[in-house]
Structures are given as C-alpha cells and as structure tokens.
Amino acid sequence: MIDMYIMSFCDKSTGLHVVYMVKVAITTICILVPIIMIFRTMMPFLSAIINKEKIKEDLSTLLKSFVAAFIVFLIPVATNYVFKNIIKSDYSSFSACYNTATLDGVNKLRKKEEEERLAKLEAERKEREKKYAELIEKEKKRQAEKPKNSAGKANSISDKTDYDNRTLNVVKVVDTNINNPSSGLGDGRNRYRAVQTAAYTGNYVVYAQNKNYGSIENSSKGGRVCWSELSTGKQVKCVEVGEEGGHMDGIAYDNDRGYVLKTASGGRLMEFDNSTMEFVGYAKIPQTHVGIAYVPKIGMLVGYGSGKLYFYKYNSNTNAYETDHVVQLQNFTANSTQGIGTDGTNIFIADSSPWDSQRALYTYSLTGQKLETHSFGSGFGSMSDEVESAFADNDGNLYLACPQGIGKVTNYRANKIGLPK
C-alpha cells in the first residue's frame, strides 16, 4: 500500500518536485553540517597552535568533530541501506522516485503533464464540435423532412417551414403582486418591486422579484422567489433570499435534478428544491448571464450573453454546470435583452425595455438559427409593457413574464415543453 502511495505521489510533477526539494535539503544539510562542525572545532585548535596552549586537548576535540561529521555524512548512506535491505517491498518505488527527483526530471514530468492537458482540451474541443455538427445536421434533416405548411396553419415552432411575424396578444393569468406588503417608503409601493424572470416547472410558474428600494440602482438587495399554480394563478409559496441574489435576471428549472436555479453573484446559481420549494445551496457556473433556461430535449442549461448561447452540462462531482459548447446567434439584432426562456425545443429571447422602442420576442433554434420575431400587442396594460422572459407549458401555450404579472398569449401556439406534471 505504501508502495502504491509513493508511485501515485511521484507520478505528479508537484509530488516529484516536493521530493526533489527534500533531496536538495538533505544533501545540503549532509554537506554543510560536517563542514560547519569541523570548521568550528578547527578555529580553537589553530588558535592553540599559534599560542602553544592546550594543543593536546583541542586536538582531541578536533578528532571527535571529525568522527561526528563523518557519522552525519554517513546518515544518507545508512538510510539508503535500510531501505534497500530491510524495507525491500517499498524500496523499488522509493528508489525510482528519489532517483528521478532531479530538476530535469521534474521539468520533463511537467512538460508531459502539459502535453496531456492540451491533448485532453483538444479532444474535448473536437467532441464539442462533433456534437454541434450533429445538432446542425439533425436540424437540417428535420427541416427537410417537414411538410411545407403555411405559417397560419402551423401548430408549433418546429413544425414551421415559413415563419411569420405576429403581434402577440396576452391576458393576465398570474397576479405576482399578491401577498406583497408595503415597502415602507410611504408612497404606496409594494415591498417587492417587479418580476425579473420566470420559468415553468410542470404545474407551477416560478418567478423572482427584487426588493423595492426606490430605484433600479438600489434594488439589488435580495428579494423573493415564488411558486404559483399556472392553471389557477394561486400563489403557493414564496421564499425570501439574501442580498447576494442581486438583480434577479435569470431563473430556470432543471427537471433532471428537480431544482430551480437562479443566478446569483460570483459565478454561482442559487438552488431550490422544487418539491419542497426551499433553498438548498449553490451550484457553480463559469459566468453570469442575463437569462438562463433549461432545455429538457438535450438536458442542458443554456445561458445568454453577447449574442451567443452558452450550453452547460451538470457535473455532480464538482457541483457545477460546466461549458459544453457555445453557439453564435444568427442575424441577432436585439439590444435590450431582458431574459430568455424555452419551449423545450427552442430558445425565446425577450428584447424589450421601457426606454427602447424595439420590443420583440425572438425565437432561435438550438443551433443558433433565427426562426421568428414577434412584437408585443394588447393586454399589457395591467402588467407593464416590458417583457422579462417567455416559456411554454405542457399544452403548448406561450406565456410572457412581465413586471406586474404572468401573461398567457392568446393568438399563438408553441412547442410543448414536455415536463412531468
């Protein structure tokens, strides 16, 4: 067992470097200590010779120092003999490790490790490119096999071969301001200011609201995450979160893990158990995103940033959503992206702002192909005319998350998201 440990330790450049430093230290001590011992004894002896005093006594001390120095110098030899003749079972690995522990040996091992690391990265890159190419080919094949339907008769986004540009009309189905106490600012405003993002979990819509501190600049001080029944609009539960939740622009439901994920500060995601509706901890993610969505079709978390979609796979060993691949969005013209969502097959990007005249919902395939662009029409009066994100339910209904509520689109059908109810 010791033999295996030594081999494992010395197979890494860091371990071999430690052995090298110990070897240098032992060698240095074994050379310097005898020299110092002899030197310290010779000084009084030389002084005695010069002064012709106590020569016999100092000569005896000098001889003893020579003997002690010789013994110190022999320590490595004795240790080597013990390992070679007494601990034979472990000597082979120890000897190989100790003999390899040179500066040249450490540098060679480091070079080998770097080459292996680069080779692994290159293999991962090729694998991602292969997956991306397969996705593109599948998308091309699917498009080629679909019948030529007219835009008006198409039942879902992926069924369409000709895409239209509709004006989406909505009706409010979830009031997000219920159980929302006064902010205490004395102006009639609620404690929680507005919905920042929302996602679909099967029976529920889960959404996040910031605390109301009087301005957008001061609103990044926590808030709450709430679950409401999508069919009845009934609020089921709200969980208050701390300041590091920040300006809550991203939320998604990882149905494979049963967790609701919300963007937080420092490249992390807050995790909530969807069954208990309780905060359970944090997961890591390489970068923060304006919006996130979990796509059941491919079992990946998708984040938006700078005209690109970032695809992440969950690694249970590191409790992190690690980058799988990145897709550049084609013909991307959005400039006020508020958040993203999914219908289980494609990605919705909400592009709207009270300060921007361009207000649209973009639909993109997972390969970055632009499918549709829709504008926002009537029904926004009670919810504010800003749209934070979009999602579909299991019946193919499209919903828009707005600052003051969740609205159901009345004149459009999306893909069914396909989550278990």
d(CA 289, CA 305): 6
Backbone angles phi, psi at 349, to 5 degrees: -120, 115
Please state whether beta strands 300-305 and 308-315 pair in parallel, antiparallel, or not at all (unpaired).
antiparallel
Q: pLDDT (tens digit, 9 = 90+) per residue, 239-286?
A: 988 776 656 578 999 999 999 999 887 788 999 999 999 999 999 999
Does residue 290 sit in the same domain as residue 376? yes
d(CA 255, CA 238): 20
- pLDDT at position 77: 64
- pLDDT at position 276: 94
The answer to whether residues 319 and 359 touch, using CB atoms and an 8 Å cutoff, is no
Surface-to-core class of residue 76, CB atoms within 10 Å of its CB (0-12 exposed, 13-18 middle, 19+ buried):
middle
Least confident piece of the model among 111-120, 293-302, 405-414: 111-120
| 243 occurs within a structural domain | yes
pLDDT band at 158 (very low <50, low <70, confident <90, very high): very low
pTM value surpassing 0.85? no
Does residue 355 sit in the same domain as residue 217? yes
Least confident piece of the model among 60-74, 81-95, 271-285, 320-334: 81-95
Identity of the amino acid at 161: T
Domain count, the chain: 2
Does residue 162 sit in the same domain as residue 94? no
Q: Select the more confidently predicted residue: 257 or 67.
A: 257
Does residue 171 sit in the same domain as residue 315? yes
Does residue 234 sit in the same domain as residue 373? yes
Give me the domain span that covers residue 94.
Answer: 2-101
Does residue 397 sit in the same domain as residue 291? yes
Share the mean pLDDT of the chain: 77
| 146 occurs within a structural domain | no
| 150 occurs within a structural domain | no
Share of the chain above pLDDT 90, in %: 27
Q: For residue 339, give both structure tokens.
A: 């958040």
The answer to whether residues 293 and 347 touch, using CB atoms and an 8 Å cutoff, is yes
Check pLDDT > 80 for residue 54. Answer: no
Check pLDDT > 60 for residue 165. Answer: yes
| 260 occurs within a structural domain | yes
> Of 79, 101, 123, which residue is a domain's last?
101
Q: What is the dihedral of CA 388, 393, 399, 404, to 10 degrees?
A: -70
Average pLDDT over residues 373-398: 84
Average pLDDT over residues 113-126: 81
The answer to whether residues 207 and 197 touch, using CB atoms and an 8 Å cutoff, is yes
Does residue 401 sit in the same domain as residue 257? yes
| 126 occurs within a structural domain | no
Looking at the DSSP bridge assignments, the partners of residue 314 are 321
Average pLDDT over residues 163-175: 82
| 135 occurs within a structural domain | no
Longest dimension (CA), the chain: 120
Does residue 95 sit in the same domain as residue 173? no
| 110 occurs within a structural domain | no
